[in-house]
Structure 1
């Protein structure tokens, strides 16, 4: 079941500049950064309980976020919903006709299992579903 808005992801062309903006200008705490190899991104996490902002930047100048930045130049990338049973949520949503970008959840940041719903299924918005790793 979907339990919360986990994060809002913003694609950024300059990760350090964006981190500086959110930390210095807006006073948000930096919760750390992580290279997410599966997604080909480097992510910076700015917790703002009960949700967070995630800044995403292409890892090694490749991947889907690089393509997004080339087309749009940065901006809101996706909304992520937290799930307590991602497999059940995927099955339920597939049954309702939602299209996913992968056949099954893959590893995400912080050891979570994640899957993305195609924007065509959600009025043009890319939606991620994430089931946190045990203990997170």
Structure 2
């Protein structure tokens, strides 16, 4: 087997869609002793997110702030659960171009701003074995923190 450099440098976060973000935060605090490291409302995506640090990665709890957001649609169709996996990459632009060059379907044709200074792009689950993938490039403000 030959080796090649991976575009993915780490698991940035696992995002879990929830109806009640405060109840989910209390669950992780009461059950596992986890604390919130970041909380942000992202109006462009129609979500509120909470990040909970777990070793070098995060659990990202997301809840919709409006009925037409992708997370609201996800919850209506599938209920609560894992929404996507975020992978850290050195360059979202480079990773996105490679994904597209291999014929995979993407949601974001070009990289876009994520929370806390990150740059992100999503790969469609239709060509990623049913998993929504977020590519996350750290920004100056993120300081090794995950994005959405």
Q: What is the CA–CA distance in structure 2 between the aligned matches of 1:133 and 1:66, rounded to whole Å?
A: 28
Report runs of 4+ in structure 1 exceeding 6 Å deviation: none
Q: What SS is found at the alignment partner of 1:38?
A: coil
**In the alignment, structure 1 residue 134 sits paired with structure 2 residue 140:** yes
Contact kept? 2:46, 2:66, Cα under 8 Å: yes
What's the C-alpha RMSD, in Å, of the aligned pairs? 1.2
Residue 33 of structure 1 corresponds to which residue in structure 2?
A: 39
Gaps of at least 5 residues in structure 1 are none
Residue 118 of structure 2 corresponds to which residue in structure 1?
A: 112
Deviation digits for residues 63-117 of structure 1, max 9, x if unmatched? 0000001111110000000011111111111111111112111211212111110
Q: TM-score, normalised by structure 1?
A: 0.94
Q: How many residues align?
A: 136
Q: What is the CA–CA distance in structure 1 between the aligned matches of 2:69 and 2:79, rounded to whole Å?
A: 15
Residue 91 of structure 1 corresponds to which residue in structure 2?
A: 97
Q: What SS is found at the alignment partner of 2:140?
A: coil
- Pick from 15, 36, 39: which aligns with 1:9? 15
